[in-house]
Structure 1
Amino acid sequence: MTHRIPEGPPAEGALGMASGSAPARSPGLSATEVAERVARGEVNDIPVRSSRSTADIVRANVFTRFNAIIGILFLIILVVGPIQDGLFGFVIVANTGIGIIQELRAKRTLDNLAVIGESRPTVRRDGTSAEIPTGEIVLGDLVELAPGDKCVVDGVVAEADSLEVDESLLTGEADPVVKQPGDKIMSGSFVVAGSGAFTATKVGREAYAAQLAEEASRFTLVHSELRSGISQILKYITWMMVPAAIGLIVSQLVVEDHGLDEAIRRMVGGIVPMVPEGLVLLTSVAFAIGVIRLGRKQCLVQELPAIEGLARVDVVCLDKTGTLTEGGMDVREVRPLQGADSATVGRVLTALGASEAHPNASLQAIIEAYPAGDGVWECTGTLPFSSARKYSGASFTESDGTDSAWLLGAPDVLLGKGDPILGDVDRLDREGLRVLLLARAAHPLDAPHVAEGATPTALVVLEQRLRPDASATLEYFAEQNVQTKVISGDNAVSVGAVAGKLELPGAEAPVDARKLPEDPEEMGRRVEDGAVFGRVTPQQKRDMVGALQARGHNVAMTGDGVNDVLALKDADIGVSMGSGSEATKAVAQIVLLNNSFATLPSVVGEGRRVIGNIERVANLFLTKTVYSVLLALLVICWQIPYPFLPRHLTLLSTLTIGVPAFFLALAPNKERAKPHFVRRVMRYAIPSGVIAGIATFTTYLLARHHYRGENALDAETSAATLTLFLIAMWVLAIVARPYTWWRVGLVLTMGAGFLIVLVTPWLQDFFALKLVGTTMPWGAVGVAAVAAVLLEIAWRWVARKFPA
């Protein structure tokens, strides 16, 4: 198994090697012992789910507050009849079914992706190391650890070679903890340096972080501004429905002296349209389809609201290596320094490569250039790489018996200020090359200041491979007014050169993070103004993300190494590469399994589609809620029959809201997500609903004055329905802007559907709609035309008064 150490500064070509004096390796459990433990049920059998269970999905879609309300009203209509007044019940059944099907499709997509991205720890059994699924670890297994590995169960350290473990995800303490044989190790922690192995002592649900791990990788529908905003709206509507229902039933039963059946039908007709039940459904469906679309691009969304969250970000922080550049590197040249012998330099580099069990990209390039052969020096000690230290080292017994210690790391860290060698390093950095310094240590590796007095021996110049799609991705973010900031542990000049090749604005002025102020406010200003930062420590990455958030930014952080974990965890949205360390994938909300930075625009675009379209259709649903509440109040105050039966409003809702909303919610939408969802929607929905309600009630009053006779109420209802339909169609036409051929076709098709009802005799009877005469129908059209003008004025005024 190749473990990838996070790419950071040039020092990250450094390594953590196995000591030549290490005790004999334990062979681990035998196959027989594993089988016995499996038979006893001592298996790490926690179901790490990427999605809700099927039962949870069905329950969440069926057992909702509004399904209960609608269900009760539907049962009432089934008792008092006729069936056409209960059509709204069948619509709810269909909507719920669609929601369940779409979420099950999303679940299947997520589960399949989760298998691809699942953590596969290395376990030693019968003396052989092999990757196995997390769920197959048994009690007593010997689990091997390397930099970047996540501890998936609790245990006791059995082997440790300069092993350092970060437990910040569990304890909040950012400093890594050095582990020795016999020390406890907790699930949820991860290795930042060194290597080792531990014996599993607690598996399954007994493991310390089992519940956290299960929760972290579960498909969720929470912590979303969109969903919480809709829930807030629904709560207010619930409060309004009860007094409205009481008022309507009393009004229709007592004041108008209707029969009980008719009074109930009119009451249900007034209450049902107040419920924007489809809005909740469409939000779930839009998110679910977003998951499916992204899944086809090998993007695992570990938390559903992450789609929405990434669409809201205005700053994306990128780690250079693994994001802008590919993991692989090549040795461009090796420059001996101060008269060093080229052959000696080659032997040292060969020894370093041969001693590293888990090479990262930088060291792998050195190994390929200097492969191990006969007579490799014996490794006698190691100093593992640390992102804070930015170099690592190893000691050897050379062929002639001489002992020596060597350091490999960042030249500007290992050399003193003003050293002339740094001039050559700067020139190479400006070309976008990565430079490592090989130096002979003057002190033992365990000395407090081992780097002091080190003798420069050679510069190892590495060439990084730019991702071919990085430039287009950065250009996309620039077009979308999303700031891009490259935050790397590498030399600032080198990082700036790489960013410059990708034409990132601001790359010409890279910032050395060691010179950043510690004051959070001042740091926030500097980070906000800059675009490229080098020599950034893991803690600084975290501080920079926090400083940007404190200045009101929504921050996304991408990374693939353990030095990115703290920043990924604190960012609004964490994005990890699929080839990244297990630690980064554990804390990230989004994992790009194809390791392609170019997938990010798709995630941003999907989020914008979801948020923009849900806001668009929310205007339709909440306009209906507003005019329904207003009509109920006007009817109660005027003490007249409620103008509509449930079948009328079911027809109107289907043609002007239900069907068009499904198409509009899934349409392309590149508009940037904006905050304050509830406030923005209500600014449009309230004036639109008030205009629609008053205009419809005006037509109804005119029709009551115009028509006389036994069946006058049917004629009055038909005229009011015509006005309300035309106004609702105008609201739909406004919401559907900007027009495309399919949007125009959608509006015209809905209008044609209502026309078919009006001219088809059996549909007239079924929906109790028949326009009588010509005066009142044309009067209804006239009132709707005036309302349409007022709608245009209101929408344009709101747009001017509250610009985005």
Structure 2
Amino acid sequence: MSTTDERTDALVGLTADQVAARVAAGQTNDVPARASRSVGEIIRANVFTRFNAIVGVLFAIILVIGPIQDGLFGFVIVINTLIGIVQELRAKRTLERLAIIGEARPVVRRDGTQIEVSPNQVVLDDVIELGPGDKIVVDGVVLAAAGLEVDESLLTGESDPVAKQPGDPLLSGSFVTVGTGAQQATKVGREAYAAQLAEEASRFTLVDSELRAGINKILQIITYLLVPAAALIIWSQFRTAGTEIDDALRGMVAALVPMVPEGLVLLTSIAFAVGVIRLGRRNCLVQELPAIEGLARVDVVCADKTGTLTENGMRLSEVLPFGGHGEDELRAALGALASVDPRPNASLAAIAEVCPSPGWTATETVAFSSARKWSGASFDGARHWVLGACDVLLGADSPERAEAERIGATGLRVLLLGRSATTVDADAPVVVEPAGLVVLQQRVRPEAKDTLAYFAAQDVTVKVISGDNALSVGAVAASLDLRGAEAPVDARELSAERDALGAELDRGTVFGRVTPAQKRDMVGALQAGGHTVAMTGDGVNDVLALKDADIGVAMGSGSPATRAVAQIVLLDNSFATLPHVVAEGRRVIGNIERVSNLFLTKTVYSVLLAIAIGAIGVPFPFLPRHLTLIGSLTIGIPAFFLALAPNTERARRGFVRRVLRLAVPSGVIIGAATIVTYLIARADPTATPIQQSTAAVVVLYLAATWVLVAVARPFAWWKALMIAASLAAFSYALFLPAIFGQQFWQLDPSHAGVMLPAVVVAAVAVVVIEVAYRLVNRSLARSS
């Protein structure tokens, strides 16, 4: 820690030599901004898993007793694990590249000039400039303040902004809502209050993922089933195989390997990683992995108007004087108001472009806030000017307000410029004399109309909630053909009670004059009504709602605070990217549910076969290579393609229930059909053991293939080709004596006496699986 006399003047900041000295001393904000796991963690997470350990032990057994054909499952696990590592490393690179683009970049004073640096380049005693929307990246003390208010809700949970004066402390993790100022860094790096929180918040994570929680729950159940099934099959195989210990071990391995749904976890990771990469190509930063899953379930999108439906930039259209005031006088006042705000919002920035400063000296200033809806300043010569919302500053029967609403109803933004008889004061009621209307033209985003049409087609409701005048917001929304925009609602008339508010939200589509706290309440009311809510925004007034929404989506050009709390950042500021994000979420979740049916069906019939064969006391009908062949052709290879295929169906809650309702009956049917076929074949004394096993292999393959047919619906040409390729590959292994044919797989379909019953049983199993599939789908449709 440096001494007090080393501290620099706030107007100058540190010198280059002082910065170099602090860097050399390690006094930097060196908290690693991790967008993903490290390379070592990725490798460990993909290699050292519970199921890899189980499969690895079984693979080692086959390597000892041979032949190597029965150890193919081990090579499949190695290949799949490598694929998982490569995909996650690609996702890591994508995330880190995008995180650098989208990070908050504080402005520091060094050698008397202002420079923009990355957060980790801030050093101890740096002087950091603060303005609306700025995220506070290090702990410090306020050096200067002009109407400075800070939101510390991310740290304390208290949503009301805190006014800050010189000497007051500032904590990293908070953000500026109103005013400007400067802070001096007193704690940096891991010493800062929110350093650990910030590191965890930026991590690529699966926290609060219903999908991952559901898969883990299923895997726990399977783990419990593995132990008794394994004990039973081991005892059975050693009892029935006599002195041939190698045959008993092969039977044990063949029974246990398919119980392990290792590929399910792997394909889940791959699907998410590919989703991150695809969205990264669209300049979309996924800051938390569950965001992809959450977007798949979204049924309500709450969109802010400014920055989402309209562009941030505005253009001053005209100034309309009142009561004897001249336009030149009003433009001078507007130029003065714009000049005293060092961080003007979009409205003041548009005014400053065409209204130069008259050179007046400000004696008091009040910065604009979303709660007040106005800003103002007092200048020498007793000139007190206020600029803000007409319906806040004027009475309901004011003719000036009526004129403003008439103009605003056309989609223009209208502000009141008024004079006050007293010095402007943020804590006192403001009374103004109307001097003129300031008309601003907003530019509607060209992609907004198509985006709203997409959401309507996908049965996703869009609610426009804005701090602007309701009529103006409604006019903009109506120009985009948003359903219900013709009846905008003034949020000041909404109920504060949650249930009543939810009912009012269900009836309305466009809401104006919404305060930041109301935006948060509206999100909560929609969630209480059973909706999954996404919130889009770019301003400080959106932060509370973004934080509470199921999914927060921020624009890349938005304030650092909005980007910090959002799960998804659209770095190209394009509202048109959002449909691609939603579609990606649906693709990932819908496809994982599809492939989960395949993997869990395999687990069910594998456990059933192990228990039944163990209880009956006959040799296990399959070699490990048989189940490798069937698993690859009906699950492994098809699941890889299905996991990455297009899917537009909105995800629903209840993942575990839906998957088990199809996988359990399918697995039971397949297992029962296989056991019946095997027992029929064993009853034929003219059939060899290989021919008996072949009959069971055929039934198992055909029935499992029909489950693949069921979950692959609706069909597309590539799905039909995939299933045809599977059938062709199995036919090659079954009928041709060529390389990798009958001899390699130990199959012999030449005995008609066992093959004919096998085909009949397989046909019956296919019909029963189809009936079960239709009944389950009908039941799920009724319950959804």
Indicate whether the TM-score tops 0.5.
yes
Match of 1:388 in 2: 371
User: Structure 1 residues 441, 25: closer, same or farther in 2, change over 3 A?
Assistant: farther
User: Structure 1 residues 450, 443: closer, same or farther in 2, change over 3 A?
Assistant: farther
Distance in structure 2 (CA, Å) of the matches to 1:55 and 1:529:
52
2:144 counterpart SS class: strand
Q: CA deviation at 1:145?
A: 0.4
Distance in structure 2 (CA, Å) of the matches to 1:503 and 1:526:
21
Q: Find the partner of 2:439 among 451, 455, 461.
A: 461
TM-superposition CA deviations, 1:309-339 (whole Å, max 9, x none): 0110111000100000001111111110111
Identity of aligned residues (%): 63
Match of 1:336 in 2: 321
Contact 1:699 1:720 in 2 (8 A): yes
- Which has the larger displacement, 575-584 or 66-75? 66-75
Look up the equivalent residue of 1:236 and give its one-letter code: I
Match of 2:385 in 1: 406
Distance in structure 1 (CA, Å) of the matches to 2:123 and 2:663:
58
Match of 1:765 in 2: 743
Match of 1:284 in 2: 269
**1:553-572 matched pairs, under 5 angstroms:** 553-572=531-550
User: Structure 1 residues 323, 521: closer, same or farther in 2, change over 3 A?
Assistant: same
* TM-score, normalisation: structure 1: 0.95
Contact 1:441 1:450 in 2 (8 A): no
Distance in structure 1 (CA, Å) of the matches to 2:714 and 2:344:
54
Q: CA deviation at 1:448?
A: 3.9
Contact 1:442 1:450 in 2 (8 A): no
Match of 1:482 in 2: 460
Match of 1:699 in 2: 677
Q: Find the partner of 2:615 among 634, 637, 654.
A: 637
Match of 2:4 in 1: none
Look up the equivalent residue of 1:382 and give its one-letter code: T
Q: Find the partner of 2:58 among 54, 73, 85.
A: 73
Match of 1:215 in 2: 200
**1:384-533 matched pairs, under 5 angstroms:** 384-397=367-380, 402-446=381-425, 448-452=427-431, 454-533=432-511
Q: CA deviation at 1:600?
A: 0.3
User: Structure 1 residues 258, 417: closer, same or farther in 2, change over 3 A?
Assistant: farther
2:573 counterpart SS class: coil
Distance in structure 2 (CA, Å) of the matches to 1:802 and 1:361:
49
Match of 1:377 in 2: 360
Q: Find the partner of 1:171 among 140, 143, 156.
A: 156
Distance in structure 2 (CA, Å) of the matches to 1:731 and 1:241:
23
Contact 1:110 1:295 in 2 (8 A): yes
TM-superposition CA deviations, 1:141-180 (whole Å, max 9, x none): 0011010000000001111111111101000111111111
2:576 counterpart SS class: helix
- Which has the larger displacement, 694-703 or 353-362? 353-362
**1:184-203 matched pairs, under 5 angstroms:** 184-203=169-188
Q: Find the partner of 2:104 among 119, 129, 133.
A: 119
2:683 counterpart SS class: helix
Look up the equivalent residue of 1:706 and give its one-letter code: D
TM-superposition CA deviations, 1:347-370 (whole Å, max 9, x none): 111111222211221111111121
User: Structure 1 residues 180, 722: closer, same or farther in 2, change over 3 A?
Assistant: same
Structure with more relative contact order (C-alpha pairs < 8 Å, separation 6 or more): 1
Q: Find the partner of 2:291 among 306, 309, 319.
A: 306
Look up the equivalent residue of 1:308 and give its one-letter code: E
Match of 1:18 in 2: none
TM-superposition CA deviations, 1:82-106 (whole Å, max 9, x none): 2111111111111100000000001
Look up the equivalent residue of 1:386 and give its one-letter code: S
TM-superposition CA deviations, 1:425-461 (whole Å, max 9, x none): 1111110111110111122223743412x11111001
Q: CA deviation at 1:782?
A: 1.5
Q: CA deviation at 1:780?
A: 1.2
Q: CA deviation at 1:52?
A: 1.3
Q: Find the partner of 2:130 among 145, 159, 165.
A: 145
1:198 counterpart SS class: strand
Distance in structure 2 (CA, Å) of the matches to 1:175 and 1:258:
79
Distance in structure 1 (CA, Å) of the matches to 2:721 and 2:438:
64
Distance in structure 1 (CA, Å) of the matches to 2:433 and 2:716:
70
Match of 2:711 in 1: 735
Distance in structure 1 (CA, Å) of the matches to 2:215 and 2:737:
38
Q: CA deviation at 1:802?
A: 2.3
Match of 2:76 in 1: 91
Q: CA deviation at 1:256?
A: 4.6
TM-superposition CA deviations, 1:114-133 (whole Å, max 9, x none): 11112110000011001011
Contact 1:696 1:724 in 2 (8 A): yes
Distance in structure 2 (CA, Å) of the matches to 1:153 and 1:500:
44
Match of 2:724 in 1: 748
Q: CA deviation at 1:783?
A: 1.1
Q: CA deviation at 1:293?
A: 0.5
Length, aligned pairs only: 773
TM-superposition CA deviations, 1:393-425 (whole Å, max 9, x none): 11112xxxx221111000110012211111111
Distance in structure 2 (CA, Å) of the matches to 1:617 and 1:447:
59
Match of 1:317 in 2: 302
Distance in structure 2 (CA, Å) of the matches to 1:447 and 1:666:
55
Contact 1:444 1:450 in 2 (8 A): no
Distance in structure 2 (CA, Å) of the matches to 1:642 and 1:283:
31
Distance in structure 1 (CA, Å) of the matches to 2:427 and 2:16:
45
Distance in structure 2 (CA, Å) of the matches to 1:272 and 1:222:
29
Look up the equivalent residue of 1:380 and give its one-letter code: T
Distance in structure 2 (CA, Å) of the matches to 1:25 and 1:74:
68
Q: CA deviation at 1:714?
A: 1.6
Q: Does 1:779 align with 2:762?
A: no
Contact 1:318 1:557 in 2 (8 A): yes
Distance in structure 2 (CA, Å) of the matches to 1:628 and 1:58:
29
TM-superposition CA deviations, 1:243-262 (whole Å, max 9, x none): 00100111111245352221
Distance in structure 2 (CA, Å) of the matches to 1:425 and 1:258:
97
Look up the equivalent residue of 2:220 and give its one-letter code: K
User: Structure 1 residues 447, 62: closer, same or farther in 2, change over 3 A?
Assistant: closer
TM-superposition CA deviations, 1:630-654 (whole Å, max 9, x none): 1111112211111111111011101
Q: Does 1:794 align with 2:779?
A: no
Look up the equivalent residue of 1:194 and give its one-letter code: G
Distance in structure 1 (CA, Å) of the matches to 2:771 and 2:429:
75
Match of 1:7 in 2: none
Q: CA deviation at 1:221?
A: 2.3
Contact 1:252 1:258 in 2 (8 A): no
- Which has the larger displacement, 598-607 or 351-360? 351-360
* TM-score, normalisation: structure 2: 0.97
Q: Does 1:675 align with 2:653?
A: yes
Contact 1:256 1:639 in 2 (8 A): no
**1:619-630 matched pairs, under 5 angstroms:** 619-630=597-608
Distance in structure 2 (CA, Å) of the matches to 1:760 and 1:380:
96
Q: CA deviation at 1:757?
A: 1.1
Q: Does 1:582 align with 2:560?
A: yes
Q: CA deviation at 1:687?
A: 1.1
Gaps of 5+ in 1: 1-23
Q: Does 1:616 align with 2:616?
A: no
Match of 2:5 in 1: none
Look up the equivalent residue of 1:441 and give its one-letter code: S
Distance in structure 2 (CA, Å) of the matches to 1:778 and 1:231:
41
Gaps of 5+ in 2: 1-8
Contact 1:167 1:188 in 2 (8 A): yes
Across the aligned residues of Structure 1 and Structure 2, the Cα RMSD in angstroms comes to 1.3
Distance in structure 2 (CA, Å) of the matches to 1:735 and 1:244:
27
1:524 counterpart SS class: helix
Distance in structure 2 (CA, Å) of the matches to 1:760 and 1:228:
46
